[in-house]
């Protein structure tokens, strides 16, 4: 029975997706082993390294339905690795002893690593599509709310006005960088492995590099310059990429959670009857998806660190670090897919309360525009004096619970230079948005 959260029949589609689990399933991994063995036989038959008749027979039998998965489990538990079990079953299926030519010149890690790369290729294609969907949703929100004023926050305190479009465009800019990173890492990561026991291809007397080159061409992978059995930066880079993607999604979830607080109420996750409700408090509307995104992102970050640990491998074939990847890489991908899926849901139906955003801008009776007032008065009073004067008036506004505008308009030193109408303009948060809209436009234009 499933014991992991990502394979749970109850939680599995909350913390992951069926498509990503299929990529990292036993069946798909084993099918990749067979795909590689078939490609190897095909290439070696063409090169005359093994008899063509043997190559044809091996290719004919490299089908997942020919593998007894229960028997493979038993073989793997006995041997320690599944590759030999797959080869043994394949040899048994081939007629006339032709299966003995299977796996010619290869080693367990060649097949395992190349299968992992093939799985990574499938997994990255899923992530690429999800990032594109999220990018479009963020772009739509940023464009729609380009000029929707809201409070910007620093240290969880109200700071200065921004727009909601600006906030979303900042996240969008990171998603676009992740899409760029994905295209950049593919040539490095999607490189196969065929190098033999210690990576020198000594097991093939002739046609070694030709076999390697042909195999990679058959599989659509890059040919390695040298064996990478214990040089694992490509896998660690993949984990780092997943960690970065989840970091951005975690930032999205954190802001949504904070903005969904009752006292804030500026955005809400999409409504569905009963979603986020409490077993005891009927009024609750909890940020369910954001909680799951946060949890996935936190665990993927730890898995990324584990893949860095796996880089510290001994000699030409390692004793343990390699197996770290088997544990954490599938789970990192599945959890990333879960975080992406939950983020797609949140963004596709995000409820934005522009009125509440404006109300929150007015909570402090104008204090959030004190910087605007200071800068507006600086040409007349000098920056330092304007700062000190506005600072004192802000303290008075808090103490007397009065709008800052009233105190400004009642100060003779100020009204000698600036009338009430001008002061009212300075105290309107929607007039102090800086280049929020321009920056939104820049991000959207760069995306196109």
Q: Catalytic: 420? A: no
> Between the CA of residue 22 and those of 7, 13, 26, 259, 386, what are the distances in Å?
11, 12, 8, 35, 64
Distance, CA of 219 to CA of 228 (rounded, Å): 18
Question: Among this protein's residues, is 317 annotated catalytic?
Answer: yes
Residue with token string 């939950």? 342
Catalytic residue among 317, 356, 358, 420: 317
Q: How far is CA 300 from the centre of its chain?
A: 9
Q: Are 368 and 161 spatial neighbours (Cβ–Cβ below 8 Å)?
A: yes
Report the 10 Å Cβ neighbour count for 203: 14
CB 138 within 8 A of CB 168: yes
Cα angle vertex 257, ends 251, 258, to 5°?
Answer: 90
Structure tokens, 333: 């991908």
CB atoms within 10 A of CB 419: 11
Instruction: Rounding to the nearest 10 degrees, give the CA dihedral for residues 376, 379, 385, 390.
Output: -10
- Active-site residue, selected from the candidate residues 278, 383, 395, 442: 278
> Catalytic residue numbers?
278, 317
């Amino acid at each position: 029975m499933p014991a992991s959260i990502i394979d749970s029949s109850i939680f599995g589609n909350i913390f992951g997706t069926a498509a990503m689990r299929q990529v990292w399933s036993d069946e798909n991994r084993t099918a990749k082993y067979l795909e590689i063995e078939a490609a190897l036989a095909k290439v070696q038959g063409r090169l005359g390294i093994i008899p063509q008749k043997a190559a044809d027979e091996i290719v004919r039998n490299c089908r997942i339905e020919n593998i007894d998965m229960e028997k493979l489990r038993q073989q793997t538990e006995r041997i320690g690795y599944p590759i030999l079990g797959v080869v043994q079953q394949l040899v048994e299926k081939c007629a006339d002893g032709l299966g003995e030519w299977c796996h010619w010149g290869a080693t367990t890690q060649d097949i395992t690593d190349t299968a992992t790369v093939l799985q990574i290729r499938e997994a990255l294609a899923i992530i690429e599509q999800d990032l594109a969907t999220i990018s479009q949703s963020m772009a739509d929100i940023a464009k729609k709310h380009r000029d929707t004023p809201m409070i910007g926050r620093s240290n969880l305190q109200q700071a200065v006005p921004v727009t909601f479009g600006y906030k979303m465009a900042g996240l969008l800019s990171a998603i676009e960088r992740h899409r760029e990173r994905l295209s950049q890492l593919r040539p490095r990561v999607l490189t196969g492995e065929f190098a033999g026991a210690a990576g020198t291809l000594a097991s093939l007397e002739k046609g070694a590099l030709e076999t390697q080159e042909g195999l990679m061409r058959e599989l659509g992978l890059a040919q390695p310059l040298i064996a990478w059995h214990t040089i694992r930066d490509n896998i660690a880079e993949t984990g780092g990429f997943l960690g970065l993607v989840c970091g951005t999604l975690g930032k999205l979830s954190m802001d949504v959670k904070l903005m969904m607080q009752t006292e804030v109420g500026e955005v809400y996750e999409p409504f569905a009857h009963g979603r986020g409700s409490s077993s005891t408090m009927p009024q609750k509307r909890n940020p369910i998806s954001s909680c799951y995104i946060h949890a996935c992102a936190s665990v993927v970050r730890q898995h990324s660190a584990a893949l860095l640990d796996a880089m510290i491998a001994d000699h030409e074939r390692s004793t343990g670090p390699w197996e770290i990847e088997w544990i954490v890489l599938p789970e990192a991908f599945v959890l990333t897919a879960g975080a992406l899926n939950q983020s797609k849901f949140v963004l596709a139906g995000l409820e934005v309360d522009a009125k509440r955003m404006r109300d929150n801008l007015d909570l402090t009776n104008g204090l959030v525009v004190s910087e605007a007032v200071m800068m507006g008065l600086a040409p007349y009073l000098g920056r330092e004096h304007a700062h000190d004067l506005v600072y004192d008036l802000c303290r008075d506004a808090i103490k007397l619970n009065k709008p800052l505008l009233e105190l400004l308009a009642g100060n003779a030193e100020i009204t000698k230079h600036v009338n009430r109408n001008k002061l009212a303009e300075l105290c309107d948060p929607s007039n102090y948005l800086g280049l929020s809209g321009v920056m939104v436009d820049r991000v959207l234009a760069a995306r196109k």
